[in-house]
């Protein structure tokens, strides 16, 4: 009988221990997780203009010939190559630069610059090109009529037209033949508190992603410290992507 | 002056039937091409992510520009009160609407999603000149339709002057809108120019009148109606003036660019190093489309209808060449993203963008032209658009058949 009581005590103790562990895990883990992704926004909360997503790319760290960011983008967003480079979509590309006068060379990834004043949004007749409150420039695939005026207007050739049927689409990155598309800053990842795929893939840590409006973010601190450049800054578009080393 | 008498054409001659059949075949080919492009996707065309607007846009923009210009003859009659042009006003309005419809059909069928036309009609971004153009194009058709009705319904004729004025102002705004599609492209070296709007207006005068002359003369020759020297000479002088005006604006456009160092690259490309685009500009537009017609139009010996028609044809060819240079040449030159740097990438940065027009694109464009002409050919058969006679004594109230004899009669 006493033996039985001991057994029950043991079971009870084990049950309590495990329950507590599960409970603690259940309560604390999301907190820890959320802490890690403190900038993530609850799904039921509207995108806010308090945040402005941006990026700093250090071309000094960007290795010539490395295209891990490009590959990561293609994999993440389901951009399958068809073998026709002239019509394949490229949301991010590696560009090699050589100063005509000095001969200095540089390498950098070029993607949608997520302008604060995007020309693609200005010219779009239907409003399919739009800018989210948090600065991410996107295309609404349902109202894009495929006129390609945004591609004419983009100063960075950041947009691609889907020239043929698309296969193996990712549910979070819908594409459509006959519509225009471009880098989304991996909005599906950003909304979960993660960085864009290209940033995560860059082993040189040449790309830093974050909230330009948060003075404490790594990005804001870097932008305050280092000298950075906007490509075609003369157009005064207030870019979300800044470059270092060019 | 006599009220101009317009009548339907009989429209049962073998030539007329053949014309309709040819136009019908071209329209069918154009529709087939559009269906093919839509089904397969644009990779079957010559267009790419670098040359995003191709041959269909050359035809479409040409037709839209010519459409507003085709209305000039009616405007000269209604707005500026030149009675000689009054019999031509209905055809002028008809051709304007037909060319616009032809151009819009090409533009719409080239969209990635022509099936979403209803979206374009229900979602508007009013900062986009494209969105404004949708109103301007539809409005133009409505305004000219009302104007035509007032012109052709004798009881309402008194109001036609007012409607003509509205149509004239509307067409100027419309072409401003078309030119501004390019003028507002802030980042493109060949387009970002305020002169684009007036350049397009003056091009519309020239290309539109050339199309009008071709349609008028062919219709008159085909229906065996008299075409007098007075009208031919007016057309000759007007076309000369418009061709010269376009040359002037084109010269100013390039001179302004040549002055600014940042544009030397694109100017060297278009004017000297651009291969097909350079040839299109100098041979296509300047020589064949401007200097040759100017010479033909101003040959000593007065107006000859055949020479005026040939000149108009050359102006049309030159106009298409000019559109090719503007639309495709402007995109072929590598976009300057990093001034001062040599650039290379997997996305054709820093290189001249290759473009080879494809058959479907060409057929679609041609189908649009055929559709516009078919509208005219059909309309002149069922409604009274064409004057019965443009003989000198019928158009010019002060016409004297033989000036010497008339003078002698006066003295006596």
In angstroms, the CA B62 to CA B55 distance is 11
Name chain B contacts of A79, Cβ cutoff 8 Å: none
Q: Assess whether pLDDT exceeds 50 at residue B410.
A: no
- Provide block-wise average pLDDT over 10 residues at a time, chain A (246 residues): 63 72 64 52 85 98 97 97 92 98 97 98 98 98 97 98 95 96 98 97 98 98 98 97 96
Tokens 């100027």 label which residue?
A: B172
For residues B235 and B196, is the Cβ–Cβ distance under 8 A? no
Instruction: Name the pTM for this structure.
Output: 0.91
Q: DSSP letters along B295-347, please? A: HHHT-TT---HHHHHHHHHHHHHHHHHHHHIIIIIHHHSPP-SSTTEEEEETT
User: Which of A71, A82, A95 to mutate to test binding with chain B, by most B CBs within 10 Å of its CB?
Assistant: A95
Q: Is residue A182 classed as helix, strand or coil in its secondary structure?
A: strand
* pLDDT tens track for B36-64: 999 999 999 999 999 999 999 999 999 99
**For B134, which of A98, A121, A125 is closest by C-beta distance?**
A125
- Whole-angstrom Cα distance, residue B296 to residue B38? 43
Q: Which residue has the tokens 């907190």?
A: A31
Helix or strand or coil: residue A173?
strand
The model's confidence at residue B320, banded by pLDDT at 50, 70 and 90, is very high
Pairwise CA distance, residues B38 & B46, whole Å = 14
The Cα B15–Cα B218 span in angstroms is: 11
- Out of B127, B191, B345, whose CB is closest to A95? B345
Task: For A108, name the nearest residue in chain B, comparing CA atoms only.
Answer: B345
Measured CA to CA, the distance from residue A137 to residue A40 in angstroms comes to 18
Round to whole Å and give the CA distance between A137 and A112: 8
Residue among A136, A153, A152, A151 nearest A241 (CA): A136
How far, in Å, CA of B314 to CA of B304, rounded? Answer: 15
Q: Is A155–B337 a contact, with Cβ atoms under 8 angstroms apart?
A: yes
Q: How far is B269 from chain A (nearest CA, A)?
A: 18
**Residue B199, helix vs strand vs coil:** helix
**pLDDT of B60-79, one tens digit each?**
999 999 999 999 999 999 99
Name the token pair of B283: 């041979």
On chain B, the residues whose CB falls within 8 A of the CB of A137 are none
* Phi, psi torsion values for B124, nearest 5 degrees: -125, 135
Residue where the block lists tokens 């106009």: B319
pLDDT, mean of residues B358-370: 98
Instruction: State how far the alpha carbon of B34 is from the alpha carbons of A162, B21, B47, B362, in Å.
Output: 17, 20, 14, 10
- Beta carbons of A123 and B128 less than 8 Å apart: yes
Cα A116 from Cα A114, distance rounded (Å): 7
Q: Tokens representing B74? A: 């009616």
CA-based nearest distance B367→chain A, Å: 19
B114: number of CA atoms within 13 Å, CB side?
Answer: 17
Provide the pLDDT for residue B405: 47
**List of chain A residues whose C-beta atoms are within 8 Å of the C-beta of residue B38:** 178
- Among the partner-chain residues B129, B340, B346, the one whose CB lies closest to the CB of A99 is B340
- Among B127, B342, B347, the residue with its CB nearest the CB of A98 is B342
Chain A residues within an 8 Å CB radius of B354: 86
Q: What is the tens place of the pLDDT at every residue in B295-309? A: 999 999 877 999 999
Q: Considering only CB atoms, which chain B residues are within 8 Å of A70?
A: 346
Nearest chain B CA: its distance from A211 CA (Å) = 26
Position A19 scores a pLDDT of 73
Bridge-based pairing state of the strands A53-58 and A241-244:
parallel
Give me the half-sphere count of Cα atoms (radius 13 Å) on the Cβ side of residue A155.
25
Cβ-defined contact of A97 to B343 (cutoff 8 Å)? yes
Q: Do B341 and A99 touch (CB under 8 A)?
A: yes
Helical H runs in B111-261? 117-122, 129-152, 160-183, 196-222, 229-259
pLDDT of residue A143: 96
Alpha helices, H only, chain A: 2-36, 68-77, 119-123, 149-153, 187-190, 197-201, 218-225
Phi then psi for residue A53, to 5 deg, are -70, 140
What is the percentage of chain B residues whose pLDDT exceeds 90? 89
Residue A43: predicted pLDDT? 77
* Contact in structure between A69 and A109 (CB atoms under 8 Å): yes
d(CA B88, CA B225): 13
Question: How many other C-beta atoms are found inside a 10 Å radius of the C-beta of residue A82?
Answer: 14
Cα B90 from Cα A219, distance rounded (Å)? 66
- Among the partner residues A88, A96, A235, nearest to B187 by beta-carbon distance: A235
Contact pairs from chain A to chain B, CB under 8 Å: 168
Place of tokens 């003989």: B391
Q: How far is B34 from chain A (nearest CA, A)?
A: 13
Give the integer Cα–Cα distance in Å for B187 and B193.
11
Q: Indicate the burial class of B402 (C-beta count within 10 angstroms; 0-12, 13-18, 19 or more).
A: exposed
Least confident stretch, A55-59, B4-8, B40-44, B369-373: B4-8
Contacts of A48 (CB under 8 A, 6+ apart): A41, A133, A134
- Residues A240, A55: contact at Cβ < 8 Å? yes
Mutation site for B-interface testing, chosen from A141, A146, A164, A231 by largest number of B Cβ within 10 Å: A146
**What are the chain A neighbours of B124 within 8 Å (beta carbons)?**
125-127
Interface test with B, best of A145, A158, A177 (most B CBs within 10 A): A145
Res. B204: pLDDT tops 90:
yes
Q: How far is CA B412 from CA A128, B398, B405, B408, in A?
A: 79, 19, 11, 6
CA A170 – CA B130 distance, rounded (Å): 32
- Provide the percentage of residues in chain B whose pLDDT is more than 70: 96
- Within 8 A of A154 by CB-CB distance, chain B residues are 187
Residues A193-212: b if buried by 16+ CB within 10 A, e if exposed = ebbbbbbbbbeeebbbbbbb
B186–A153 C-beta distance less than 8 A: yes
CATH 1.20.1630.10 fits B6-226+235-391, yes or no: yes
Compute the nearest-CA separation of B279 from chain A (Å): 24
Q: Answer yes or no: do A87 and B53 touch at CB < 8 A.
A: no
Using the beta-carbon criterion (under 8 Å), do B342 and A146 form an inter-chain contact?
A: no
pLDDT per position as a tens digit, B142-186: 999 999 999 999 899 889 999 999 999 999 999 999 999 999 999
Residue from A156, A162, A155, A106 nearest A139 by CA: A162
- Distance (Å, rounded) from C-alpha A140 to C-alpha A127? 8
Are B369 and B30 in contact by the 8 Å Cβ rule? The answer is no
pLDDT digits (tens, 9 = 90+) for B176-197: 999 999 999 999 999 999 999 9
Residue A132 per-residue DSSP state = -
C-alpha A201 chain-centroid distance? 11
Q: Which of B44, B113, B182, B188 to mutate to test the interface with A (most CBs of A within 10 A)?
A: B113
The residue count for chain A = 246
Backbone angles phi, psi at A54, to 5 degrees: -155, 180
| Domain chopping of chain B, boundaries | 6-226+235-391
Q: What is the pLDDT of residue B12?
A: 87
- For residue A109, what are the β-bridge partners? A94
**Residue tagged 């087939």 (tokens):** B32
Beta strands (DSSP E) in A79-146 are 92-99, 105-111, 129-131, 137-139
Query: Of A90, A122, A165, which is closest to B41 when you measure between CB atoms?
Result: A165
For residue A194, which of A40, A43, A49, A54 has the smallest C-alpha distance? A40
Q: Which chain A residues contact residue B192 at CB under 8 A?
A: none
Question: What phi and psi values does residue B189 have, to the nearest 5 degrees?
Answer: -65, -30
Give the residue from B44, B124, B186 with the most A CB atoms within 10 Å of its CB, the best one to mutate.
B186
A126 min Cα distance to partner chain B (Å): 5
Is B116 in contact with A177 (Cβ distance < 8 A)? no
**Segment B331-342, tens digit of pLDDT:** 999 999 999 999
Residues of B with Cβ-Cβ distance to A119 under 8 angstroms: 185-187
């Amino acid at each position: 009988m006493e033996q039985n009581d001991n057994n029950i005590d043991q079971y009870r103790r084990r049950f309590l221990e495990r329950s507590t562990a599960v409970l603690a895990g259940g309560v604390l883990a999301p907190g820890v997780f959320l802490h890690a992704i403190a900038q993530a926004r609850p799904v039921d909360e509207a995108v806010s203009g308090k945040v402005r997503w941006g990026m700093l790319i250090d071309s000094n760290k960007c290795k010539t010939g490395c295209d891990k960011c490009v590959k990561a983008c293609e994999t993440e967003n389901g951009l399958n190559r068809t073998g026709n480079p002239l019509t394949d979509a490229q949301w991010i590309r590696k560009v090699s630069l050589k100063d005509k006068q000095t001969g200095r060379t540089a390498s950098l990834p070029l993607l949608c610059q997520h302008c604060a004043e995007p020309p693609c949004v200005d010219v779009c007749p239907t409003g399919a090109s739009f800018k989210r409150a948090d600065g991410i420039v996107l295309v609404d695939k349902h109202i894009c009529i495929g006129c390609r005026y945004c591609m004419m207007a983009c100063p960075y050739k950041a947009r691609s037209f889907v020239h043929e049927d698309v296969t193996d689409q990712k549910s979070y990155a819908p594409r459509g033949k006959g519509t225009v598309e471009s880098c989304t800053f991996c909005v599906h990842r950003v909304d979960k508190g993660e960085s864009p795929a290209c940033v995560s893939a860059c082993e040189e840590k040449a790309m830093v992603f974050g909230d330009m409006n948060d003075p404490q973010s790594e990005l804001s601190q870097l932008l305050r410290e280092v000298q950075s450049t906007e490509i075609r800054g003369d157009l005064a578009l207030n870019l979300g992507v800044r470059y270092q080393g060019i | 002056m006599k009220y101009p008498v317009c009548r339907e054409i009989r429209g049962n001659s073998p030539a007329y039937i053949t014309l309709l059949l040819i136009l019908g075949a071209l329209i069918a080919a154009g529709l087939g091409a559009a269906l093919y492009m839509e089904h397969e996707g644009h990779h079957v065309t010559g267009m790419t992510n670098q040359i995003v607007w191709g041959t269909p846009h050359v035809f479409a923009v040409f037709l839209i520009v010519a459409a507003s210009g085709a209305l000039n003859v009616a405007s000269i009659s209604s707005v500026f009160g030149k009675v000689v042009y009054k019999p031509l006003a209905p055809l002028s309005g008809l051709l304007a609407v037909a060319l616009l419809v032809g151009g819009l059909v090409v533009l719409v069928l080239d969209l990635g999603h022509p099936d979403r036309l209803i979206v374009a009609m229900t979602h508007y971004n009013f900062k986009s000149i494209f969105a404004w153009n949708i109103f301007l194009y539809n409005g133009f058709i409505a305004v000219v339709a009302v104007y035509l009705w007032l012109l052709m319904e004798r009881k309402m004729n008194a109001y036609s002057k007012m409607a003509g004025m509205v149509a004239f102002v509307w067409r100027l705004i419309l072409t401003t809108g078309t030119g501004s599609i390019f003028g507002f492209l802030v980042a493109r070296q060949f387009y970002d120019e305020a002169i684009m709007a007036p350049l397009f207006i003056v091009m519309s005068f020239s290309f539109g009148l050339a199309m009008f002359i071709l349609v008028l003369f062919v219709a008159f020759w085909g229906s065996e109606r008299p075409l007098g020297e007075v009208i031919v000479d007016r057309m000759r002088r007007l076309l000369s003036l418009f061709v010269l005006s376009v040359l002037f604006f084109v010269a100013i456009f390039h001179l302004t660019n040549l002055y600014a160092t940042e544009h030397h690259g694109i100017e060297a490309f278009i004017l000297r190093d651009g291969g097909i685009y350079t040839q299109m500009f100098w041979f296509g537009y300047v020589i064949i489309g401007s200097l040759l017609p100017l010479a033909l139009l101003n040959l000593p010996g007065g107006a000859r209808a055949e020479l005026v028609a040939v000149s108009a044809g050359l102006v049309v060819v030159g106009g298409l060449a000019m559109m090719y240079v503007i639309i495709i040449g402007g995109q072929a030159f590598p976009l300057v993203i990093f001034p001062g740097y040599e650039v290379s990438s997997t996305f054709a940065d820093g290189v001249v963008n290759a473009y080879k027009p494809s058959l479907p694109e060409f057929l679609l464009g041609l189908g649009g032209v055929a559709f516009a002409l078919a509208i005219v050919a059909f309309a002149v058969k069922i409604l009274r658009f064409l004057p019965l006679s443009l003989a000198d004594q019928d158009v010019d109230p002060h016409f004297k058949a033989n000036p010497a004899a008339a003078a002698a009669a006066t003295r006596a």
